Amino acid sequence: MEQKIHQGRNVKRFREMLNIKQEALAYDLGEDWNQKKISMLEQKDVIEDSLLKQISAVLKIPVEAFQNFDEEQAINIISNTFGDNACVGNPNSTFNFNPIEELKKLHEEKIALYERMLKEKDEMMVRLEKFIGK
């Protein structure tokens, strides 16, 4: 019996392994993404290649991992990766995710958005006042 690979579940697994929340992945994928859309995406058996490439770039995980990952392979990978050499690690790997910096960046972007919205509201009020002849 051939086991079907569930790409959405694989996205979820890798995202969780990297300790990345659905909201953070949504933010990195762009404006039209949110937590709910990520949740729905992770339930899909098959994800479009172009979207898998985006997710791959954000999570820095090869597209093939989402397409080919299954439980049996995972057990082999984990046993080979976390065997006797588990403490050695890869001296060339870096992990550049600072949650505080990400939160500050989100907060600053939200403030900038509010400022733009207020400016647009003021401009709209001026136009309306001119229109009604105040």
At 73 the pLDDT is 60
At 134 the pLDDT is 62
- Token couple for 97: 């995710």
At 36 the pLDDT is 96
At 2 the pLDDT is 54
Q: What is the CA radius of gyration of the chain?
A: 22
Per-residue pLDDT of 62-113, as tens digits, reads 888 888 877 666 566 656 655 555 444 455 555 555 677 777 888 888 888 8
How many helices and strands (H and E) does the chain possess?
7, 0
Q: Return mean pLDDT, the chain.
A: 81
- Token couple for 9: 């579940």
The amino acid sitting at 72 is E
CA 100 centroid distance within chain: 17
C-alpha 134/C-alpha 124 separation (Å) is 14
Cβ distance 56 to 63 under 8 Å? yes
- Token couple for 68: 């080919």
Task: For residue 31, give the nearest of 104, 123, 113 by alpha carbon.
Answer: 113
pLDDT at 37 over 70: yes
